[in-house]
Every structure is written in C-alpha cells, then in structure tokens.
C-alpha cells in the first residue's frame, strides 16, 4: 500500500466543530475525518457529537489515539482522502515524528491560556507550541495559519 | 446562480454574520433585511436591484407567507428569469449549498429542492447512539 493520502491537517482546540466539519471538510474534498486525539479516543460523548457533523457532511470519521494513528495510518486506501484534525502542536509533532506524512499543517483555533501570547487573531502560543510547530516544519511540513479557506495563508515563519 | 437570504428584522444579516464566522463569506450569496422602516415596494426594489445581473436566483425566506416571501414570489412570477422561492431553510443548508454554488449547473428549482431536503435532514432531535464507526474493509 502506498503513502496515505492526507489532504490536510488542522490544529484546532475544538477539534471537529461547525467550521471544521462543514467548511474545511467541504473545501478540502476529504472523505474521511481522522481525529487524532488521546482524550477523544476514550470519550464516547465527544465522539457522538463530532460524528453528527461528519454524518451530515457525508464523510467517514475515526477517533484514534496518536499512537494508533502512527501505527495504522499506512493501511489507508488510496481512495481515502484523509483530513487529520489534532488539538495541539505537540500532537502534530508526535504524528510527524512517528512517520505520519503530514504535508500541510493548518493552524486554526488555538485559544488563550495562561502563559500564551497572541500570535494572530485566533491563535495564542507559548514557547513549546512554537518549538513543536518548528519541528514539524523542519520535517518538511508546510505550516501556516489560516482560519477559514477564504483567508490568506500566513506562513509560520512570518507570524512567530 | 445567486442565492438571496431575506427575512424580517435582521434575520438576513444575522445569518450573514454566522456564515462569516464559519466560512469567511460565501460568493454568490446576498443578504437582504426587511426592517421596520421599509415597505413592500422598497423591499421589492432591493430584490430587483440585487438580481439585475443574474438569470437564475433562489430566494431563501424566513417565513412562509411573510412579506419577504410574498415579494420574492411576486418577482419570480413577473421577472423573465429562472427564480425559485424557499422558506424555513436553515444555516446548515445555506452553508452546504453556498460552498458548492459555483459548481452547480442545474435549475433554480433543483437547487431550491436541495436546500429544503438538506434543511429537513438537519432538523432533528439529538439521540444517543454508539459512535464507534466500523472500519472499512479496504483502508482505515
């Protein structure tokens, strides 16, 4: 089996919500949402809520831990156009370092919390976030901030 | 094809703000409020002005039988264009149809039917069920 066809990876604190489930799924042409998140993989209610969006968009959805994603992504079929959604830069980095071929990493919503500084309108980062994102870029991923498809991509190096 | 969302008060621009937050905007979709300072004629004039460069239009109205609905229907009968009028459609349907609008090449009636069927499909009571999806036989 060849390389999995990952059309986009998005970092979003809210994982799959209206914007991601409807707008991004539609604009990427993905037919499978892969939520790579350790908490959600063990949280039936979160899964149920995110499945509702996927169902109405007519796409499949999987809820895998980071480890399961690393171990199983290469079983993907060529017809599966996969949209990977993660919650944090750290998880994106774990995937990349685990050999998951994330070529485009879109930074969406990263909410404010203590110690994080505003980087763009919807993204707040601390030093660790920036280091994790840089590590993804160093592995060859195109890393950028883009809230909605209509917005221009802001490359990582221009915002940090 | 143009979509026009219209309704009483700030219904249209309210939906516009939702669409903006979700998608950043939708090309080919217009939002026309029917506010307290307007009458039927001024609303109808706005409609006419908005569609002057379009041959195909679907109106998405807030309320069956309300003034925006009635004016849209009158316009659909009088204008020499392909116009359909819906009411009661929801944001989910507007997003789904709006995002694929440039690729649509059917009639206004076909698009209007699609809006209504998506709206009906997305109008529901949330019911618990197991969310564990079956893996595909081929792939993940």
What pLDDT tens digit does each residue of chain B (140 aa) get? 999 999 999 999 999 999 999 999 999 999 999 999 999 999 999 999 999 999 999 999 999 999 999 999 999 999 899 999 999 999 999 999 999 899 999 999 999 999 999 999 999 998 887 655 566 667 88
Inform me whether the pLDDT recorded for A55 exceeds 90: no
Per the structure, the complete domain to which residue A43 belongs is given by 6-159
Question: Active-site residue numbers of A?
Answer: 17
Which residues fall within 8 angstroms of residue A41, CB to CB, at 6 or more apart? A35, A63, A64, A65, A68
User: How high does pLDDT run on average in chain A?
Assistant: 94
What's the rounded Cα separation, in Å, for the pair A90 and A100?
14
Beta bridge partners of B70: none
Give the DSSP H or E segment for A47.
helix A44-57
What's the rounded Cα separation, in Å, for the pair B78 and A136?
59
| Count helices and strands in chain A by DSSP H and E runs | 7, 9
What's the rounded Cα separation, in Å, for the pair A36 and A141?
17
User: How high does pLDDT run on average in chain B?
Assistant: 93
Note whether residue A1 is domain-resident: no
Give the chain B residue nearest A31 (alpha carbons): B140
Note whether residue A46 is domain-resident: yes
Give the chain A residue nearest B118 (alpha carbons): A56
Residues B23, A148: C-beta atoms closer than 8 Å: yes
DSSP A129: H
Helices assigned H by DSSP within chain B: 11-23, 40-50, 67-78, 91-99, 108-121
Predicted local distance difference test score (pLDDT) of residue A10: 98
pLDDT tens column, A16-30: 998 898 889 888 999
Tell me the pLDDT band of A93, cut-offs 50, 70 and 90.
Answer: very high
Maximum distance among all Cα pairs of chain B, rounded to whole angstroms: 61
Instruction: Express as a percent the part of chain A with pLDDT over 70.
Output: 99
For residues B97 and B118, the answer to whether their CB atoms sit within 8 Å is yes
Give the chain B residue nearest A77 (alpha carbons): B139
> Please, what is the angle between helix B40-50 and helix B67-78, to 10°?
50
Predicted local distance difference test score (pLDDT) of residue B79: 86
What is the distance in angstroms between the Cα of B39 and the nearest Cα belonging to chain A? 35
What's the rounded Cα separation, in Å, for the pair B111 and B106?
7
Note whether residue A67 is domain-resident: yes
Q: Which domains, ranges and CATH numbers included, belong to chain B? A: 2-119 (3.40.50.510)
Predicted local distance difference test score (pLDDT) of residue B11: 98
Chain center to CA of A36: 8
Residue A31 DSSP SS3: coil
Query: What pTM was computed for the model?
Result: 0.85
Q: Is A65 on the interface with B (CB under 8 A)?
A: no
Inform me whether the pLDDT recorded for A150 exceeds 90: no
Task: Say which CATH number the domain at A78 has.
Answer: 3.40.35.10
What's the rounded Cα separation, in Å, for the pair B77 and B103?
26
What is the distance in angstroms between the Cα of A60 and the nearest Cα belonging to chain B? 8
Predicted local distance difference test score (pLDDT) of residue B132: 59
Give the DSSP H or E segment for A82.
strand A82-86
Residues A63, B129: C-beta atoms closer than 8 Å: no
Residues B96, A22: C-beta atoms closer than 8 Å: yes
Note whether residue A110 is domain-resident: yes
**Which conformational region is residue B22 in: left (phi greater than 0), alpha (psi within -120 to 50 degrees), or beta?**
alpha
Q: Nearest Cβ partner of A76 from B23, B121, B140?
A: B140
Number of domains chain A is built from = 1
User: What are the distances in angstroms from CA A97 to CA A35, A92, A100, B140?
Assistant: 17, 9, 7, 21
Best to test chain B binding among A1, A4, A16, A19 (most B CBs inside 10 Å): A19
Predicted local distance difference test score (pLDDT) of residue A72: 95
Query: Which chain B residues contact residue A57 at CB under 8 A?
Result: 96
For residues A23 and B99, the answer to whether their CB atoms sit within 8 Å is yes
């Amino acid at each position: 089996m060849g390389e999995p066809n990952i059309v986009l990876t998005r970092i979003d604190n809210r994982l799959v919500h209206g914007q991601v489930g409807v707008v991004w799924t539609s604009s990427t042409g993905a037919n499978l949402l892969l939520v790579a998140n350790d908490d959600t993989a063990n949280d039936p209610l979160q899964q149920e809520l995110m499945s509702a969006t996927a169902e109405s968009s007519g796409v499949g959805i999987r809820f895998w831990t980071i480890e399961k994603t690393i171990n199983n992504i290469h079983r993907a079929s060529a017809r599966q156009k996969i949209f990977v959604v993660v919650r944090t830069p750290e998880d994106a980095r774990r995937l990349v370092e685990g050999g998951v071929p994330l070529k485009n990493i879109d930074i969406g919503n990263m909410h404010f919390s203590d110690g994080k500084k505003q980087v763009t309108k919807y993204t707040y980062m601390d030093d660790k976030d920036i280091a994790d994102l840089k590590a993804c870029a160093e592995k060859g991923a195109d890393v950028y901030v883009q809230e909605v498809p209509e917005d221009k991509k802001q490359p990582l190096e221009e915002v940090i | 094809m143009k979509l026009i969302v219209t309704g009483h008060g700030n219904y249209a621009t309210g939906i516009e703000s939702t669409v903006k937050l979700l998608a950043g905007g939708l090309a080919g979709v217009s939002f026309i409020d029917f506010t307290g300072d307007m009458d039927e004629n001024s609303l109808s004039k706005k409609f006419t002005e908005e569609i002057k460069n379009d041959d195909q239009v679907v109106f998405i109205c807030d309320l069956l039988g309300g003034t925006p609905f009635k004016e849209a229907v009158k316009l659909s009968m009088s204008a020499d264009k392909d116009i359909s009028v819906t009411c009661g459609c929801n944001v989910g349907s507007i997003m789904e149809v709006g995002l694929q609008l440039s690729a649509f090449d059917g009639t206004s009636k076909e698009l209007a039917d699609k809006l209504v069927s998506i709206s009906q499909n997305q109008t529901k009571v949330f019911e618990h069920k197991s969310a564990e999806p079956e893996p595909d036989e081929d792939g993940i």
